[in-house]
């Protein structure tokens, strides 16, 4: 059963939370982060994307950047922008998108649960991103950003959350620049915290990594590293845990996660379409954006035109939790055999675009000449994700995209 503990959160003052909180590090590049942090001296991006304060530094993973993150983290605490709660507790973090609100519980998940399979993953990680988050965690000695977990809904937990959000004013309550609402409550009652810990241990056999595979893997590695360094290790130290927001599965939605490629592996557009026709029915949809509307249906944008690709029978296996996935079809029928892109984790010829950016972003990146072609996919379901994780299978990287993204900085988990 899942071990999820309360912890003493490091949190911003209410008056500055809207300026301090930011999107997670991996949804923007350095240039975009610099724009987002402009005029906001208290933005957490000055810690999570510290390269924006290191002009002239080309390597964003350099010691200079990590040291700047540490310097800023210390300064945020010294200035009182981040203050520690006196007692360990759980927190409720809710997000509102398109009029629908989902409620999660922030707690410290056990590194041991990741190692023994209680925390189930469904995607492969990219080594360089996992290493970067591990190094930053080591430097800061803190989980600066939460990971996004799901669990099969428990009525008793839902009832506790509902009672708190209806009876208590939120500690933080704001709408971010993207229009998404963020709401945050501390759970101060000691009996309620004890009850929640018991319910997770008794009613939640597994948790599922929804978003944050790299941060989860990095946290587990840091836990193991610190365990080996501590001759007096007991098992209850804070480094044995990492921060996660746990959402019930019935409140979550998954958005498509699309692909763009830099080249056609030497093929002309005509020859590429001919190769695609071996595994797909290909239909030219013209110049208007075309979005897939069903499983095994894709859209391709290339050379100013959109195409509908419908996978032919025999290119997928609906009885296999991995074989049914459109990301599997795309890899097996296009990326690997035609474009010779073998490893999605390491190839520099492919990039991934979250569906929240819209298909216009795919068009922009191709029209700019940066990319040669783009593929839009139909999103997977939450139940598919759980089925894959429960079966012990692993999805290709960047299969799922959850929205809204968790805001970083509402609470931080220190490892000491």
Q: Which of 33-37, 280-284, 387-391 has the lowest mean pLDDT?
A: 387-391
> Whole-angstrom Cα distance, residue 94 to residue 86?
23
**285 and 222, same structural domain?**
no
Average pLDDT of the chain is 92
The reply to whether 386 falls in a domain is: no
Tens of pLDDT, residue by residue over 290-313, are: 999 999 999 999 999 999 999 999
Q: What percent of the chain has pLDDT over 90?
A: 73
Domain count, the chain: 2
Residues 185, 302 within the same domain: no
Closest CA to 256 of 164, 330, 367, 166: 330
Q: What is the CATH number of the domain that holds 335?
A: 3.30.1760
Question: Which pLDDT score, from 0 to 100, does residue 123 have?
Answer: 67
H or E stretch covering 130 = helix 127-140
Q: Is residue 368 part of a domain?
A: yes
Residue 124 pLDDT class (50, 70, 90 cuts): low
pLDDT at 399: 67
391 in any annotated domain: no
387 or 187: which leads in pLDDT: 187
Q: Are 296 and 358 found together in one domain?
A: yes
pTM above 0.75, yes or no: yes
What digits encode the pLDDT tens for the residues 333-383? 999 999 999 988 789 999 988 877 789 999 999 999 999 999 999 887 777
The 3-class SS string of 345-373 reads CCCCCEEEEEHHHCHHHHHHHHHCCCCCE
219 pLDDT higher than 80: yes
Q: Are residues 213 and 263 in the same domain?
A: no
Query: Do 128 and 103 share a structural domain?
Result: yes
| Residue-wise pLDDT tens digits, 77-118 | 999 999 999 999 999 999 998 888 999 999 999 999 999 999
Q: Which helix (H) or strand (E) holds 139?
A: helix 127-140
Q: Cis peptide leading into 256, omega within 30 of 0? A: no
Q: Give residue-wise pLDDT tens across range 311-333.
A: 999 998 888 877 888 888 999 99
User: Do 222 and 264 lie in a common domain?
Assistant: no
Residues of the chain above pLDDT 70, percent? 95
Q: Residue 397 falls within a domain, yes or no? A: no
109 is a domain residue: yes
Tokens 């700019």 belong to 368
What pLDDT, on a 0 to 100 scale, did the predictor assign at position 75?
A: 98
Boundaries of domain holding 339:
257-378
Got the DSSP string for 249-278? GGG--EE-EEEEES--TT--HHHHHHHHTT
């Amino acid at each position: 059963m899942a071990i999820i503990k309360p912890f003493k959160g490091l949190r911003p003052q209410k008056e500055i939370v809207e300026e301090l909180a930011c999107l997670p590090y991996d949804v923007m590049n350095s240039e975009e982060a610099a724009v987002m942090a402009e005029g906001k001296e208290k933005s957490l991006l000055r810690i999570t994307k510290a390269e924006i304060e290191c002009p002239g530094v080309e390597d964003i993973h350099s010691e200079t950047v990590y040291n700047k993150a540490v310097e800023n983290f210390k300064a945020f605490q010294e200035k009182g922008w981040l203050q520690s709660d006196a007692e360990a507790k759980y927190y409720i973090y809710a997000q509102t998108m398109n009029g629908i609100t989902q409620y999660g519980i922030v707690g410290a998940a056990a590194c041991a649960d990741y190692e023994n399979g209680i925390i189930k993953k469904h995607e492969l990680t990219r080594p360089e991103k996992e290493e970067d988050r591990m190094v930053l965690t080591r430097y800061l000695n803190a989980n600066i950003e939460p990971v996004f977990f799901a669990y099969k809904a428990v009525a008793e937990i839902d009832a506790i959350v509902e009672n708190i959000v209806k009876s208590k004013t939120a500690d933080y309550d704001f709408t971010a620049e993207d229009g998404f609402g963020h709401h945050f409550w501390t759970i101060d009652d000691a009996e309620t915290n004890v009850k929640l810990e018991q319910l997770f241990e008794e009613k939640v056999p597994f948790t599922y990594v929804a978003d944050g595979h790299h941060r989860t893997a990095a946290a587990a590695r840091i836990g193991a590293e610190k365990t080996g360094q501590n001759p007096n290790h007991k098992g209850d130290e804070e480094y044995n845990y990492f921060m996660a927001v746990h959402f019930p599965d019935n409140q979550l939605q998954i958005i498509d996660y699309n692909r763009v490629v830099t080249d056609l592996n030497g093929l002309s557009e005509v020859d590429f379409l001919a190769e695609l026709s071996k595994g797909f029915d290909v239909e030219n949809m013209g110049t208007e954006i075309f979005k897939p509307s069903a499983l095994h249906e894709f859209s391709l944008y290339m050379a100013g035109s959109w195409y509908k690709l419908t996978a032919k029978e025999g290119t997928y296996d609906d009885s296999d939790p991995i074989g049914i996935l459109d990301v599997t079809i795309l890899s097996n029928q296009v990326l690997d055999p035609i474009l010779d892109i073998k490893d999605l984790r390491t190839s520099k010829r492919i990039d991934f675009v979250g569906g929240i950016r819209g298909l216009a972003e795919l068009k922009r990146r191709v029209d700019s000449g940066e990319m040669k072609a783009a593929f839009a996919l139909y999103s997977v379901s939450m139940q598919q994700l759980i089925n894959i994780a429960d079966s012990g299978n692993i999805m290709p990287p960047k299969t799922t995209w959850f929205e809204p993204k968790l805001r970083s900085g509402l609470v931080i988990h220190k490892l000491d």
